[in-house]
Structure 1
Amino acid sequence: MRKKIKIHIIFLFLTHVLLSQQDPAFNYYMFNHQSVNPAYVGSKNYTTITSVYRSQWSGFEGSPITQTASFNKPIRSKNIGVGLGVLNDKIGPLTTTDISIDLSYHLRLNRDGSYLSVGLKFGGLDFGINSEMIQTNQPFDQTFFIQDDKSFFPNIGFGFYYYSQKIYLGFAMPRVIDHAEIGNQKHYFFIGGGLINLSDLWILRPSVFLKYARGSSSVYDFSSLLIFKDIFWIGGQIRSSIFSVLPDGGLEGSYAFLTGVNINKNISIGYSYGFSSSKNKALNLGTHEIILRLDILPKVIGLLRSPRFF
């Protein structure tokens, strides 16, 4: 039999999901642009497969667990990119599975390798509630009676993406259709970053990620990775409301440590550990995130459109 969780924990989760985290947040957003921006697909000269596992508030029964897998490749003869993404998010009794097909067109702006792309996202969200996980103090309490339910909600999204050898900027709206019945609404995302050569051995990669949703907190992430000889990286991240320079005691505030290694020219793996700045000590149990990426390089790759760290 599945574990039971108390109703006040359910309310905490529902509040967090509906008000501040309708779309899951990733510490490794800088390696996972496709999850929000369809214009990213095809921006490399090779096929990329990415998988992320995220366990938030580890040790807290019913805490959020998110898995995502994505595939994208360029069709160079047509200047287009195609991709497929699957995301599964489970929090308490709620489970959502998001499936999307991404298409993009890439316009070369100059001979220096700068491009502007536009993308479309087509798919849908499967939403389910498992009432067996809800336990009240009073048996058969009709106040909290919820029937098991699964529903499918269609979706369309779009995005823009500018990139060169050293910088990238993007804007995306991955969910255009509101579904008020499940508290799902439009999100707006901005992402930007670049590469700064510090020496022959070290590269600095700063990046920023902004998220806005009507009726919810506007949140920013700032990350900085220090990369050694294209072999491994180490860095840090802060997440906070845009109205606060540093994370405060709100649910959205957090700090994270990131590290990873390029095992070879095809395989990269990264790990992140984060902790909340919330005054609610129950949320300070740590968040773990693992990313695995496979780059399927052609035999002759020539000049890559964008570095592997994009």
Structure 2
Amino acid sequence: MNIRFIVLISIILSTGFLHSILGQQTPIFADYNYNSVVFNPAHAGFYESTDIIVNARGHLNGIEGSPRNIGLSINTPTNAKNVGLGGGVYSDQIGVSRMTNIFGAYSYKLFFNSDRSTWWDYNPHVLSFGITGGMIIYGEDLLSLEIKNDPKFARNINALVPTIGAGVFYNRERIYIGFSAPNLLGDSLSSEDNVNISSPFYLLTGYRFFATRFKEIMINPSMLIKYVSGAPMQVDLNTKINYKNKFEVGVGYRTNASVNFLAGFRISNNCRVAYNYNQALDNNPMSTHGIVLNFRLNEGFSFR
């Protein structure tokens, strides 16, 4: 039997077409720590300089139809100190289904001070509000499955789904917390009636503390919770250890029974790279390799 058919049928039987596809949009450990603007527009323009992220994962998997994604996002402050902008495009694929999300984000920030927690880490005391809007391009190549005499597989599905979302983010020296809903409309404005896209909700929180008196090593435990109506709540629990933004390592656990490992280092003052490995548990052989390239302009990752 065609492996792509097996993957698709498994999706249908477990949680339905779009619940499984949406599950792949939740960034794994490397992604959500580097690229929060993807699911929370309040993070737009958080850094003092323009931040550019290129990420990809799943493309080295040997199983046909397994999840994979690729994305590009830009996150930048503006001349107006309180305003930040962000935007990007990312594409998720599993089996014969593909979802491409194009979005733009705007944030307005209330700064309480401009202090940094250390001489190498930008970490303002700020409350930020954000809105986002964009478009999901959704497609299912059902005809490639060659399933006969079933009207559900008689034609491919192609749909455009406008999205609007909002988020809030609070950051202080040691703690941060954010709540967001990047697609409040769900599929209500979809160009196709047979598309079922629910509205995901995210809660991200974390704590920072230093392992040395000179504040050279930062330890950052964090948690990302995702909730979608009709699907089990998903929780990512992670801890990252960072040495002066020169290199970092991390480990995490996701409640769908998988573990994550991260290793990253700074290539130059303006560029860093991170490798992420995800391994499914419960006798599941699926493993995923991911890469993140992070470019930051001007001062880059080395502060005064």
TM-score normalized by structure 1?
0.84
Counterpart of 1:34 in structure 2 is 37
Q: Aligned-residue CA RMSD in angstroms?
A: 2.3
Residue from 242, 248, 255 that aligns with 1:233:
248
Counterpart of 2:166 in structure 1 is 158
Query: How far apart, in 2, do the equivalents of 1:167 and 1:25 lie?
Result: 22
Asked if the contact 1:193/1:208 (under 8 Å) is kept, the reply is: yes
Query: How far off is 1:276 after superposition?
Result: 1.1
Counting aligned pairs with the same residue, the percent is: 27
Paired residues, number: 282
Query: How far apart, in 1, do the equivalents of 2:114 and 2:69 lie?
Result: 40
Q: For 1:41-76, what per-residue CA distance to the aligned partner results, in whole angstroms no more than 9, with x for missing partners? A: 111111000111011892221111111110011114
Asked if the contact 1:126/1:150 (under 8 Å) is kept, the reply is: yes
Q: For 1:188-226, what per-residue CA distance to the aligned partner results, in whole angstroms no more than 9, with x for missing partners? A: 101112321101442212111011111111011111111
Is the aligned partner of 1:119 residue 2:118? no
Query: How far apart, in 2, do the equivalents of 1:302 and 1:266 lie?
Result: 11
Counterpart of 1:297 in structure 2 is 298
- Read off the aligned partner of 2:276 and give its amino acid letter: S
Counterpart of 1:243 in structure 2 is none
Query: How far off is 1:81 after superposition?
Result: 0.5
Q: For 1:81-129, what per-residue CA distance to the aligned partner results, in whole angstroms no more than 9, with x for missing partners? A: 1111101111111111110110000111346541101000011111111
Q: Using a 3 Å threshold, how does the CA distance of structure 1 residues 237 and 163 change in structure 2: closer, same or farther?
A: same
Query: How far off is 1:170 after superposition?
Result: 0.5
Give 3-state SS (helix, strand or coil) of 2:11's partner.
helix
Q: For 1:231-281, what per-residue CA distance to the aligned partner results, in whole angstroms no more than 9, with x for missing partners? A: 1111200011xxxxxxxxxxx2211111110112210100111111245x3
Asked if the contact 2:132/2:182 (under 8 Å) is kept, the reply is: yes
- Read off the aligned partner of 1:292 and give its amino acid letter: L
Residue from 124, 129, 132 that aligns with 2:140:
129
Is the aligned partner of 1:222 residue 2:237? yes
Query: How far apart, in 2, do the equivalents of 1:48 and 1:30 lie?
Result: 13
Query: How far apart, in 1, do the equivalents of 2:239 and 2:112 lie?
Result: 28
Query: How far apart, in 1, do the equivalents of 2:4 and 2:296 lie?
Result: 43
Give 3-state SS (helix, strand or coil) of 2:80's partner.
helix
Residue from 52, 55, 58 that aligns with 1:55:
58
- Read off the aligned partner of 2:50 and give its amino acid letter: T
Q: Equivalences for 1:70-149 in 2 at 5 Å? A: 70-110=73-113, 112=115, 113-136=124-147, 140-142=148-150, 145-149=153-157
Asked if the contact 1:57/1:286 (under 8 Å) is kept, the reply is: no
Query: How far apart, in 2, do the equivalents of 1:302 and 1:273 lie?
Result: 29
Asked if the contact 1:5/1:133 (under 8 Å) is kept, the reply is: no
Give 3-state SS (helix, strand or coil) of 2:19's partner.
helix
Is the aligned partner of 1:172 residue 2:172? no
Is the aligned partner of 1:277 residue 2:277? no
**Structure 1 unmatched runs, 5+:** 241-251, 304-310
- Read off the aligned partner of 1:33 and give its amino acid letter: S
Q: Equivalences for 1:248-287 in 2 at 5 Å? A: 252-279=256-283, 281=284, 284-287=285-288
Query: How far apart, in 2, do the equivalents of 1:165 and 1:45 lie?
Result: 16
Query: How far off is 1:229 after superposition?
Result: 3.5
- Read off the aligned partner of 1:193 and give its amino acid letter: G
Q: Using a 3 Å threshold, how does the CA distance of structure 1 residues 46 and 189 change in structure 2: closer, same or farther?
A: same
Query: How far apart, in 2, do the equivalents of 1:34 and 1:296 lie?
Result: 17
Is the aligned partner of 1:189 residue 2:193? no
Q: For 1:153-180, what per-residue CA distance to the aligned partner results, in whole angstroms no more than 9, with x for missing partners? A: 1110000011134332110000101227
Give 3-state SS (helix, strand or coil) of 2:185's partner.
coil
Give 3-state SS (helix, strand or coil) of 1:175's partner.
coil
Counterpart of 2:120 in structure 1 is none
Query: How far apart, in 2, do the equivalents of 1:22 and 1:145 lie?
Result: 21
TM-score normalized by structure 2?
0.85
Query: How far apart, in 1, do the equivalents of 2:76 and 2:99 lie?
Result: 26
Counterpart of 1:65 in structure 2 is 68
Q: Using a 3 Å threshold, how does the CA distance of structure 1 residues 37 and 274 change in structure 2: closer, same or farther?
A: same
